[in-house]
Structure 1
Amino acid sequence: MMDVRVLVADDEREIRELLTAYLEREMYSVDGAADGEEAVHLFERNHYHMVILDLMMPRMDGMEVCRRIRNHSNVPILMLTAKDQELEKIVGLSIGADDYITKPFSIHEVVARVKALMRRFLVLGSEGNRPDQSGIAYKGLTIDLKSYTVQAAGVNVALTAKEFELLKFLASHPGQVFTKTQLFRNVWNGSYIEDDNTVMVHIRKLRKKIEADPSNPAFIQTVWGIGYKFSGEKV
């Protein structure tokens, strides 16, 4: 079994210790950071497979930490927030967080979210992965399902775990129209309260990364009044 390392960044010692205890029960190796600067310091000097990041921390907030991590890594990021305002959640997702959960939270729900994100990110060859399907290729876009990498117009594109899952789902069903609700339920697996804005934010981020002209997308197209569909020429 591979050694999966998780970084937990939260200025509340009790929360760090609680998350560490439960994640270590799942056989994860866990490091803790008490503020944003310490989190960045640890991340730059170690290899982590997952980051749990509090939104409000001293010295550097979770938003800035998330931005810095996303500058050179696409590891899954689960954002913790004591703020229940929708804007905070949308902003967190728009800068690259894969999921969020609002305090106070159920520790079992956090562990379940971590495990779900890790399964999708690591691509460990679980029962849901068809071993004969190694990639999806369209003209101008290649999705490698084994290495979790994407190329657009021949250039490597860094996607978050959720962005990758959303793109993979759409590209696996070319021409089929999905509502935001259907995308949410299939990609996020109903892991938290349904939220149209979550889907829209990720669609917008994906278009910026894979489309030559995000305002006139060739791959992820809007079907007005219904939802989205994937269009492309298979190779």
Structure 2
Amino acid sequence: MARGGAAVTSVLLVEDDALLREATLLSLERYGYEVDVAADGLTGLSRFRRRVPDVAVVDVMLPGLDGVSLVRRMRAESDLPVVMISARTDPVDVVLGLEAGADDYVTKPFDVPVLIARIRSAVRRTARPDGPVTEHGPSPMAFGDLVIDPAGLEVSRAGRPLRLTPTELRLLLTFAAHPATVLSRTTLLERVWDHAGGGDGRLVDVHVQRLRRKIGGERIVTVRGFGYRFEH
């Protein structure tokens, strides 16, 4: 597992294209990853349930159980980071994957270093986030009935715990560290996803919508043409 210092990161690769699956498997192993593979969605779900990996890489178009449905089922059982692979340029495919719970995506054909960068970034987001530090560790932050505890990696609303993915938690912490400040999509892509130089703003938009549903839509305000502002 990846969270134990120098331990190997485990990857579940679900891809139906045999040539691409084999090439990606060899590339990931060359970079030092421990890889489990599946050629269809149902097998991928079985492999996931047999052993939850550190990160999953899932193709959108899969036989048996499509990638979006697979991600939705995995997300219902785990907060593991998910990177989707899409061969189609239709933005609907990307948005559906992100709304299902994917953290990031790459589009075919992709360069292996790009996929590796996405995987590394996704795994890093599972590490303990930074927060305001006191002698006892990161201090809790309260915004009305929303309480964020970076030390315990917990968020509650009106006393009830919220289940956030690591990406959603980092996005919330980034907003909470800059209350009443407009943050552009480019800034959020750099700070939350490690996408230097910007990237696809849909990543931000979909994750903001997912976060709004959990913490309350009024807390994150859209500033048209600029970005988002966190209200407290």
Residue correspondence of structure 1 range 154-173 to structure 2 within 5 A = 154-173=159-178
1:58 offset after TM fit, Å?
A: 0.6
Instruction: Write the distance in 2 (CA, Å) between the matches of 1:137 and 1:197.
Output: 28
| Alignment correspondent of 1:66 | 71
| Alignment correspondent of 1:41 | 46
Tell whether the 8 Å contact from 1:52 to 1:77 is kept in structure 2 after alignment.
Answer: yes
| Alignment correspondent of 1:134 | 138
Instruction: Write the distance in 2 (CA, Å) between the matches of 1:165 and 1:87.
Output: 25
RMSD over equivalenced CA pairs, Å: 2.4
Task: Say how many residue pairs are matched.
Answer: 224
Give me the TM-score of the superposition, normalised by structure 1: 0.84
For 1:84, give the aligned amino acid.
T
Instruction: Write the distance in 2 (CA, Å) between the matches of 1:145 and 1:155.
Output: 16
2:157 to 111, 134, 152: 152
SS at match of 2:77: coil
1:147 offset after TM fit, Å?
A: 5.0
Residue correspondence of structure 1 range 1-235 to structure 2 within 5 A = 1-123=6-128, 133-138=137-142, 139-190=144-195, 194-211=199-216, 214=217, 217=218, 219-232=219-232
Tell whether the 8 Å contact from 2:131 to 2:173 is kept in structure 1 after alignment.
Answer: no
Instruction: Write the distance in 1 (CA, Å) between the matches of 2:61 and 2:91.
Output: 15
CA change 1:196–1:115 in 2 (3 A) is closer
Instruction: Write the distance in 1 (CA, Å) between the matches of 2:36 and 2:44.
Output: 9
CA change 1:165–1:35 in 2 (3 A) is same
Deviations 1:21-76 (A, max 9, x none): 23223332211011000011111121211100000011110000011011121111
CA change 1:193–1:12 in 2 (3 A) is farther
CA change 1:24–1:34 in 2 (3 A) is same
1:192 offset after TM fit, Å?
A: 8.2
| Alignment correspondent of 2:3 | none
1:97 offset after TM fit, Å?
A: 0.6
Give me the TM-score of the superposition, normalised by structure 2: 0.85
CA change 1:34–1:147 in 2 (3 A) is farther
SS at match of 1:173: coil
Gapped runs of 5+ residues in structure 1?
A: none
Instruction: Write the distance in 1 (CA, Å) between the matches of 2:28 and 2:131.
Output: 25
Instruction: Write the distance in 2 (CA, Å) between the matches of 1:182 and 1:143.
Output: 21
Instruction: Write the distance in 1 (CA, Å) between the matches of 2:52 and 2:70.
Output: 16
